[in-house]
């Protein structure tokens, strides 16, 4: 277990099962959750016995996104999430997504319930996304006057046409699993996504770990050769939003004040 039990990890038969463990809040992301995911990824990266990683959410949902009121309670949290020494490296907000891409083993995301905002960003960090038919998806940041800045953009570039990606990001619409599959946001829909994920994991672990590592690294580099530039652009543009003329509106929206508008 990690920070305040936000993450549970079980390793069995060379498969690491990672569970987001805040079910009473639909696994919404607070600061302890960010730190726990980062630490989990670091530990998995060091564990040479792990051949495949499966990530799921405990309870009804995979992850409903950022726990805005909790995170925005302290103005320093925004700085902690966005600050980075190197513009092309992931900050704390981005590492919970990009970190899964940086692992040398395949990562399978098992999705259910709400997969919104930061939750969808994390799911985009996986190499495969298997969803239950009831799962709903949203790039929700625009609802709060923010941009999606948690490192999911490289996966959008790899998987979605520009118009579909922009539509999801600008409208903040909530879509169902069938729509998500149609636009290639997810890999597969199944009534028992965990069983499918375990079957895939067992198949993947039978292959050479070095082969899996090289294929993953090579394909991500070919499909998205400018990941560092994308991460820098996400953070730069979010800073512009937060410190631009609409910064007060963005903060009020984030804190749940639906009465404000942009006119």
167-224 tens-digit pLDDT: 999 999 999 999 999 999 999 999 999 999 999 999 999 999 999 999 999 999 999 9
**Residue 88 belongs to a domain:** yes
Question: pLDDT (tens digit, 9 = 90+) per residue, 71-116?
Answer: 776 777 777 887 888 888 889 999 999 999 999 999 999 999 999 9
Return mean pLDDT, the chain. Answer: 90
The structural domain count of the chain equals 1
**Residue 199 belongs to a domain:** yes
Query: Three-state DSSP class for 114?
Result: strand
pLDDT score at 262: 44
User: What's the pTM value of the predicted model, to 2 decimals?
Assistant: 0.90
Query: Three-state DSSP class for 45?
Result: helix
| Backbone torsions φ then ψ of 140, nearest 5 degrees | -95, -5
Give the whole-angstrom CA distance, residue 95 versus residue 84: 11
Q: CA angle, 200 as apex, 205 and 10 as ends, to 5°?
A: 65
**Residue 263 belongs to a domain:** no
Give the whole-angstrom CA distance, residue 118 versus residue 151: 9
Supply the range of the domain harboring residue 181: 3-207+224-254
| Backbone torsions φ then ψ of 120, nearest 5 degrees | -70, -35
Give the whole-angstrom CA distance, residue 254 versus residue 145: 8
Beta bridge partners of 188: 130
Sheet holding 52-57, edge to edge: 7-12, 15-20, 52-57, 107-111, 128-131, 188-189
Question: pLDDT (tens digit, 9 = 90+) per residue, 136-171?
Answer: 999 999 998 889 999 999 999 999 999 999 999 999
pLDDT score at 1: 35
DSSP-assigned letter for residue 141? G
**Residue 214 belongs to a domain:** no
Question: pLDDT (tens digit, 9 = 90+) per residue, 21-80?
Answer: 999 999 999 999 999 999 999 999 999 999 999 999 999 999 999 987 777 767 777 778
Are 80 and 31 in contact by the 8 Å Cβ rule? The answer is: yes
What does the block give as tokens for 64?
């409903």
Q: Span 109-127, mean pLDDT?
A: 98
Q: What is the CATH number of the domain that holds 128?
A: 3.90.226.10
The number of residues in the chain equals: 263
pLDDT score at 78: 73
**Residue 33 belongs to a domain:** yes
Give the whole-angstrom CA distance, residue 39 versus residue 188: 29
When pLDDT is cut at 50, 70 and 90, the band that residue 125 belongs to is very high
**Residue 215 belongs to a domain:** no
pLDDT score at 239: 81
Are 27 and 20 in contact by the 8 Å Cβ rule? The answer is: yes
pLDDT score at 214: 97
Half-sphere exposure of 259 (CA within 13 A, CB side): 1
Question: pLDDT (tens digit, 9 = 90+) per residue, 20-35?
Answer: 999 999 999 999 999 9
**Residue 155 belongs to a domain:** yes
**Residue 262 belongs to a domain:** no
Q: Is 210 exposed, middle or buried (0-12, 13-18, 19+ CB in 10 A)?
A: exposed
Give the whole-angstrom CA distance, residue 212 versus residue 204: 8
pLDDT score at 205: 96
Q: CA angle, 231 as apex, 155 and 45 as ends, to 5°?
A: 70
CB neighbours of 89 closer than 8 A, spacing ≥ 6?
Answer: 228, 231
């Amino acid at each position: 277990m990690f920070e305040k039990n936000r993450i549970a990890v079980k390793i069995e038969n060379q498969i690491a099962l990672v569970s987001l463990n805040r079910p009473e809040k639909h696994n919404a992301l607070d600061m302890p959750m960010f730190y726990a995911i980062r630490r989990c990824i670091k530990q998995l990266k060091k564990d040479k016995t792990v051949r495949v990683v499966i990530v799921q959410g405990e309870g009804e949902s995979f992850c409903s996104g950022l726990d805005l009121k909790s995170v925005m309670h302290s103005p320093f949290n925004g700085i902690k999430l966005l600050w980075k020494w190197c513009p092309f490296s992931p900050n704390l907000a981005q590492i919970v997504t990009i970190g899964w891409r940086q692992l040398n083993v395949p990562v399978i995301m098992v999705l259910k319930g709400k997969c919104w905002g930061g939750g969808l960003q994390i799911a985009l960090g996986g190499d495969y996304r298997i969803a239950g038919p009831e799962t709903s998806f949203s790039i929700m940041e625009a609802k709060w006057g923010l941009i999606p800045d948690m490192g999911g953009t490289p996966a959008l570039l790899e998987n979605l046409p520009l118009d579909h990606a922009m539509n999801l990001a600008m409208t903040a619409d909530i879509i169902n699993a069938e729509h998500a599959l149609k636009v290639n946001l997810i890999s597969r829909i199944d009534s028992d996504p965990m069983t499918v994920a375990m079957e895939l994991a067992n198949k993947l672990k039978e292959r050479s770990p070095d082969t899996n590592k090289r294929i993953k690294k090579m394909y991500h580099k070919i499909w998205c050769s400018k990941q560092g530039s994308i991460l820098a652009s996400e953070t730069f543009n979010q800073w512009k939003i937060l410190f631009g003329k609409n910064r007060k509106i963005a903060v009020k929206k984030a804190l749940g004040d639906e009465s404000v508008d942009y006119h």
